[in-house]
Chains A and B, each alone.
Chain A
Amino acid sequence: MTSDDDFIGQLEEYLETFDGATPLPDRVRDEVHAELPSTRQVRPRPGLLRRTDLSSTTSMIARWGLLAACLVVAVALGSAILIPGRGGGPGAAASPTAAPTPTPTPSSTALALASSAPCNQAQPSASFCVPPGTYLLTPTLPRGLVDIPSGWFEWGPGPGTVGVLTQEPDTPDGSGWGILFMQIGDVARDPCVPATGTHPATDVDTPAKLVQVMAAWPGFDGTSPETITVGGVPGVRTRMTSTKDRSTCATSMIWRTSAGAPIDGYPMIDGGGGRPGEGYPADFRLIQVDGKLVAIRTMGSARTSPFERSWGIAEDPKRHAADLVTLQGILDSIRFESPAP
């Protein structure tokens, strides 16, 4: 097995040399040159809806989201003014105190579309964390809401997932430590042997069935399922470890999300550099909301994560002790919007 440095060095050398020199072909240069006179340049439009240039980090979805939010606010303001007895418009009854509202407001943002904020004061270049606040977890966790504190950034390995990880001052590129929400699709029979296939999602459609399948994974150990609730929704919790490592489970997949993204066995079988049998625990909370089976995976230890060790961070059994407390707060904050009428 090659070391990470060797591997990255080989990869970069491969990319650098590639197919030799690949200059811009004359054909392309000539065709661009020929088309310029007939290609009109787009002039920026004045006003609020001026076309945003492509260097903006804001995605098109986020821009439409912003527009939608503006419309929602405009409609809400209009309703407050026009409908007597609602809100703070001219016809509203005076209220001595503004009662806090526990339910989400229209301004709650989907976590996957969160904007960026500084992660911590010690690392000015890390400005990719989500601003602290309440975020929607839909569509991964239907109607789900969660409170995210400062110092965490959004992360998900593919469609059907959303989550947050901590950003530590001594790592340049994330921590690999946090919480991940996944909407479950097909589930592996053996996460380390793809040839054994998967259980169809229709066969594993409840927390009880899923935890049963997980308990049967070869080379994995799960604690007895514990009955829990998440935001008032009943479910089960199990803590999984594995005796496998990358030499015995090079390409793991525990399941696919409902959107088809493969989910690997991190952190259970990734020894952060190929150490055998690290046994890093992962906690799984399994719930069902609106007929969708959702797994909430959290890191089950305060230890230095496998991802951090792969960056050369020393083993420290208490590295994430404070994060564990914060993580519990995140879990406790999960709640659900009322179902649509």
Chain B
Amino acid sequence: MERSLVERAMRGDGVAFDALIERHGDHLHSVARRILRDPYLAEDATQRALLDAWRYLPTLRDPDRFEAWLHRLIVHACHAEARHERRHRTTVPLLAIDEPVEMDSASTIATRQQLDLAFRRLGVEHRTVVVLIHYVGMSAIEAATAMGTPVGTVRSRLHYALKHLRAAIEADARYEQEVGTA
């Protein structure tokens, strides 16, 4: 079914492409929201990725790999939007917000707010690898394909992203404990 739609869209069938948007649009937008952490940038990235999909569909060699191909397009579009945003924001660091956060006093388990804050502090490339592996559920090899980078780069980015997330959360926790006991 999916393959049939892809093959029709590859031949220029707009109705088939609309059906593919219905199938994959929500997911692509969700991925973009998580990578970019900005609703407007995510909308632009999703639109860019869908138009690129239409434009380059005839060059897709294996219609069964359509979904993996879409992931690569959305990652590419997200990074393009992030680069564009950086060029136009010279004084405010992209997605960097520093404010005190609530700590779960009953344990050292990170609160959702801490995770959100730590996740915002990651660079877009590091957020991408975290989203692809821990949200989309890709393997490192699949993520490497989606990102167009060597597998080793994916592994190192994931390693450092998780390490920085943990470190940021633990630093926040220590700060809260120090403030709480002062």
- Count chain B CB atoms within 10 A of each CB in A28, A39, A59, A246 and give the residue with the most: A28
Q: How far is the CB of A148 from chain B (nearest CB, A)?
A: 12
- Using a CB-CB cutoff of 8 Å, which residues 96-132 of chain B contact chain A? 108-110, 112, 115-116, 119, 130-131
Q: Decide yes or no: A14 and B115 within 8 Å by CB, A24-B28, A33-B18 being known contacts.
A: yes
> Contacting B141 at CB < 8 Å: which of A12, A22, A128?
A128
Question: For the complex, is A318 an interface residue (Cβ under 8 Å from B)?
Answer: no
Question: For the complex, is A108 an interface residue (Cβ under 8 Å from B)?
Answer: no
Question: For the complex, is A281 an interface residue (Cβ under 8 Å from B)?
Answer: no
Q: Using Cβ atoms and an 8 Å threshold, which residues of chain B touch A173?
A: 140, 155
A6 to B109, CA, bound (A): 8
Q: A24–B21 contact, CB under 8 A?
A: yes
Q: B76–A54 contact, CB under 8 A?
A: yes
Q: Decide yes or no: A31 and B60 within 8 Å by CB, A10-B110, A42-B55 being known contacts.
A: no
Q: Using Cβ atoms and an 8 Å threshold, which residues of chain A touch B12?
A: 41
Q: A15–B135 contact, CB under 8 A?
A: yes
Q: How far is the CB of A173 from chain B (nearest CB, A)?
A: 6
A24 to B156, CA, bound (A): 31
Q: B131–A15 contact, CB under 8 A?
A: yes
Q: A39–B155 contact, CB under 8 A?
A: no
Q: Using Cβ atoms and an 8 Å threshold, which residues of chain A touch B61?
A: 53, 55
Nearest opposing residue in chain A for B125, CB measure: A158
Question: For the complex, is B4 an interface residue (Cβ under 8 Å from A)?
Answer: no
Q: How far is the CB of B6 from chain A (nearest CB, A)?
A: 12
Q: Using Cβ atoms and an 8 Å threshold, which residues of chain A touch B151?
A: 116, 128, 153-154
A35 to B21, CA, bound (A): 14
Q: How many residues of A contact B (CB 8 A)?
A: 59
Nearest opposing residue in chain A for B145, CB measure: A57
Q: B163–A264 contact, CB under 8 A?
A: yes
Question: For the complex, is A25 an interface residue (Cβ under 8 Å from B)?
Answer: yes
Q: A1–B170 contact, CB under 8 A?
A: yes
Q: B110–A2 contact, CB under 8 A?
A: yes
Question: For the complex, is A16 an interface residue (Cβ under 8 Å from B)?
Answer: yes
Q: Using Cβ atoms and an 8 Å threshold, which residues of chain B touch A165?
A: 152
Q: A157–B134 contact, CB under 8 A?
A: no
Q: Using Cβ atoms and an 8 Å threshold, which residues of chain B touch A41?
A: 12, 54-58
Question: For the complex, is A27 an interface residue (Cβ under 8 Å from B)?
Answer: yes
Q: A55–B14 contact, CB under 8 A?
A: no
Q: A54–B73 contact, CB under 8 A?
A: yes
Q: Using Cβ atoms and an 8 Å threshold, which residues of chain A touch B140?
A: 128, 173
Question: For the complex, is B41 an interface residue (Cβ under 8 Å from A)?
Answer: no
Q: Using Cβ atoms and an 8 Å threshold, which residues of chain A touch B171?
A: 250-251
> Contacting A24 at CB < 8 Å: which of B46, B145, B162, B163?
B46
Q: How far is the CB of B38 from chain A (nearest CB, A)?
A: 11
Question: For the complex, is A64 an interface residue (Cβ under 8 Å from B)?
Answer: no
Task: Mark interface residues in B55-84 (1 if CB within 8 Å of A CB, else 0).
Answer: 111111110010011001100100000000
Q: How far is the CB of A145 from chain B (nearest CB, A)?
A: 19
Q: B144–A43 contact, CB under 8 A?
A: no
- Count chain B CB atoms within 10 A of each CB in A116, A127, A155, A246 and give the residue with the most: A155
> Contacting A53 at CB < 8 Å: which of B55, B56, B144, B153?
B56
Nearest opposing residue in chain A for B45, CB measure: A28
Question: For the complex, is B8 an interface residue (Cβ under 8 Å from A)?
Answer: no
A41 to B72, CA, bound (A): 18
A155 to B108, CA, bound (A): 33
Q: Decide yes or no: A44 and B115 within 8 Å by CB, A2-B109, A11-B134, A15-B34 being known contacts.
A: no
Question: For the complex, is A122 an interface residue (Cβ under 8 Å from B)?
Answer: no
Q: How far is the CB of A272 from chain B (nearest CB, A)?
A: 12
Nearest opposing residue in chain A for B161, CB measure: A11
Q: B62–A55 contact, CB under 8 A?
A: yes
> Contacting A11 at CB < 8 Å: which of B25, B26, B115?
B115
Question: For the complex, is A209 an interface residue (Cβ under 8 Å from B)?
Answer: no
Task: Mark interface residues in A112-153 (1 if CB within 8 Å of B CB, else 0).
Answer: 101010000000000110000000000000000000000001
A243 to B54, CA, bound (A): 57
Q: B72–A27 contact, CB under 8 A?
A: no
Q: Using Cβ atoms and an 8 Å threshold, which residues of chain B touch A116?
A: 151
Pairs A–B under 8 Å by Cβ, sample size 13: A7-B162, A15-B130, A18-B34, A19-B33, A22-B33, A28-B47, A41-B12, A53-B61, A54-B76, A57-B145, A128-B141, A128-B152, A158-B156
**Which residues does B use to contact A, with CB under 8 Å?**
12, 14, 17-18, 21, 25-26, 28-30, 33-34, 42-43, 46-47, 50-51, 54-62, 65, 68-69, 72-73, 76, 108-110, 112, 115-116, 119, 130-131, 134-135, 140-141, 144-145, 148-153, 155-156, 159-160, 162-167, 170-171
**Which residues does A use to contact B, with CB under 8 Å?**
1-2, 6-8, 10-12, 14-19, 22-25, 27-29, 31-33, 35-37, 39-44, 51, 53-55, 57, 59-60, 112, 114, 116, 127-128, 153-158, 165, 173-174, 246, 250-251, 264, 307
